[in-house]
Amino acid sequence: MDHRFIHWLGHASFRLDDGEHAIYIDPWKLPPGSPPAHLILITHPHYDHLSTPDIDRISTAETIIVATPDASRGISRKFLRTSPGQEISAGSWNVGAVAAYTIASSFHPRPKNWVGYTIRLGNGCVVFHSGDTDLTPELENVRADVALLACGGTYTMNGAEAGAAANHIGPKLVIPMHWGDIVGSRKDAEELRQVFHGETIIRAPER
């Protein structure tokens, strides 16, 4: 599968190139020269996922921002609010919010209603970004062509759990994330690859 439209910017930060449109998910520590955003998705308000300086750097008057309600404390711009289980139209994109929470720890409690996202691109490809989550029933029910899965452990799934999640989701391609910065290492990403039955691409961050 051609995955050149997916740019891992480190940690949980991605840019998806949908034709001439740039879609960012949890932009943080963006590299210089990052193109302006047409759509920004924020999974939850922790500092390493909701970065106001990075949002401001890539935002224009036309940028659409989708975020959880509690992210409003950090976003000064107008945005669309979402919650688990909701599907919304954000410009020309269909965005689905999937519950993201931890079971084994209290870092991401379920009552916060934080999310991951599915997004359907113009070519029909469905991309799923897990947000910060454990392997949950909601995650097992996701279907996507590409899965961007947290695997660093401590605050999220570890590599083996993320690999098991990928087997439930059944994507054509998985890109491990949430490792190499703050928590997790390449070993966690390699563990995901060992468990997942499909293709795993382990990237170096574009910074």
- Tens-digit pLDDT profile for residues 46-69: 999 999 999 999 999 999 999 999
Q: From 76, 83, 66, select the one nearest 27 (Cα to Cα).
A: 66
Is it the case that residue 71 has pLDDT exceeding 90? no
Q: From 189, 187, 185, select the one nearest 175 (Cα to Cα).
A: 189
Structure confidence at residue 207 (pLDDT):
84
Structure confidence at residue 78 (pLDDT):
81
Q: Looking up tokens 């703050």, which residue turns up?
A: 182
Q: Distances in Å between the alpha carbon of 188 and those of 165, 173, 179, 204?
A: 14, 17, 7, 14
Task: Count other Cβ atoms within 10 Å, centred on residue 91.
Answer: 15
The residue ranges of every structural domain in the chain are 6-200
Q: Looking up tokens 């106001």, which residue turns up?
A: 52
- List 115's β-bridge partners, or say none: 99
Give the SS3 label for residue 52.
helix
Q: Decide yes or no: CATH 3.60.15.10 for domain 6-200.
A: yes
Six-digit token pair at 30?
Answer: 């963006």
CA angle 202, 203, 206 (to 5 degrees): 170
Structure confidence at residue 14 (pLDDT):
98
pLDDT class for 72, splitting at 50, 70, 90? confident
User: CB of 58 within 8 A of CB of 30?
Assistant: yes
Is it the case that residue 101 has pLDDT exceeding 80? yes
User: CB of 149 within 8 A of CB of 192?
Assistant: yes
